[in-house]
Amino acid sequence: MDSARHIIMSVVLTLIIVVLGASGYVIIEGWNVIDALYMTVITLATVGYREVHDVSQIGRLYTILLIFVGVGCLGYVGGTLMQFIVEGRIRTVLGRRRLDKKIGRLKNHYIVCGYGRIGRVLCENLRRKKSFDLVVVEKNEDLVHVMDEDGVLYVFGDAADETILLRAGIEHAKGLVAVLATDTDNVFLVLTARQLNPDLIIMARASRNRSKSKLMAAGANEVESPYDMGARSMAQKIIRPAVTTFLDFAVTHQRKDIQMEEMQISDSSKLANVMLKDSGIRQDYNLIIMAIKKYNGSMLFNPSFESVIQPGDTVIAVGEVANLQKLEKILDPL
């Protein structure tokens, strides 16, 4: 039985005892309801006030019975309330400690600052990729239960506070996403984060175009405007409906039979320094290589079968999820 049901039963039991106790005085002594209720309350509370009227022998026996039964039940009710308060506090403290320990063990994780509409959707998409470790920083107390329900690691507090970012593990983080409510907050956050970790990859949201330059100057690596992205997406759906439908299926996990994924090639991969025609990617995994991002940053679209996959390159492939996962293990076996 959970704590909420205990509380409800305790309240109902208290009301039943008071009603029955008052009814007994009305029946036995013939008192009015107010006098009977008053006598019942002071008896159960054991405050020692005098009786409102003289009590008969039967009334005294009834009062003794009411004390034994009522005080015992009220003791149970009080114990239940204390247990609910103490256990709830203990669960909160222990739960926070567990979260802090998990966050303290993270390396190369991403910190998402802000768990509003954009932040929550962003985290949902990132968590689909199991290799991503996320920590959310949020100062809105109303969103704490939402983060608990979603099962995300989080730190409650102001993202612009250095101590909060340090608790989120910014010194060991790989990247940070600033999606706070205002551009001003995001600028200050980017400045603070860049000072704490100069090597951090920072992506920020800009509500207005004129804020993009300020965010870049503050230290953001990438700045995106949800409004611009939404407008471009709507335009592409009108201009190229088939292309956008394909991309929606490939990158938003709407279908399991086709996905688009990027995979980096490690030095230990058996396909390192191998031509595409000799890699067996098409034959063994039934995947299509859409592009190769070279280690120097250049992008090779629709690579020829004689293109060589080198360590540090990133392969962009399309195909079934299971085959993509098999190829990822080959490209990065560690």
β-strand 314-319 against 288-293: which pairing, if any? antiparallel
* Eight-class DSSP state of 172: G
Secondary structure of 194-227 as H, E, C letters: HHHCCCCEEEEECCCCHHHHHHHHHCCCEEECHH
Please tell me the predicted confidence (pLDDT) of residue 165: 95
pLDDT of 130 reads 64
Confidence at residue 85, expressed as pLDDT on a 0 to 100 scale:
63
- 244 near 233, Cβ under 8 Å? yes
pLDDT in tens, 238-288: 888 887 777 777 666 556 667 888 888 998 899 999 999 899 888 888 898
Predicted local confidence at residue 256, as pLDDT: 61
Collect the ranges in the chain with pLDDT lower than 50: 1
What string of DSSP letters covers 79-112? HHHHHHHHHHHHHHHHHHHHHHHHHHT--S-EEE
Q: Which pLDDT belongs to residue 1?
A: 44
Backbone angles phi, psi at 205, to 5 degrees: -95, 135
| Residue 85, burial from CB neighbour count under 10 angstroms (0-12, 13-18, 19+) | exposed
Full DSSP string of 122-159: HHHHHHTSTT--EEEEE--GGGHHHHHHHT--EEES-T
Phi, psi at 327, each rounded to 5°: -65, -35
For residue 311, what is the DSSP state? T
331 and 320 in contact (C-beta within 8 Å)?
no
* Assigned token pair, 21: 């106790």
- Expressed in percent and rounded to 5, the helix, strand and coil fractions of the chain are 55, 15, 30
pLDDT tens-digit readout, 190-199: 999 999 999 9
Closest to 259 (Cα-Cα) out of 249, 268, 267, 269: 249
Amino acid at 203: M
What number of other Cβ atoms are within 10 A of residue 3's Cβ? Answer: 15
Query: Please, what's the b/e burial string for 199-215 (b: 16 or more CB within 10 A of its CB; e: otherwise)?
Result: ebebbbbbeeeebbebb
Cβ proximity of 112 and 123 under 8 Å: yes
| Domains of the chain, earliest start first | 3-101 (1.10.287.70), 106-230 (3.40.50.720), 241-331 (3.30.70.1450)
CA torsion through residues 146, 151, 154, 159, sign: negative
The H-or-E segment that residue 236 falls in is helix 226-239
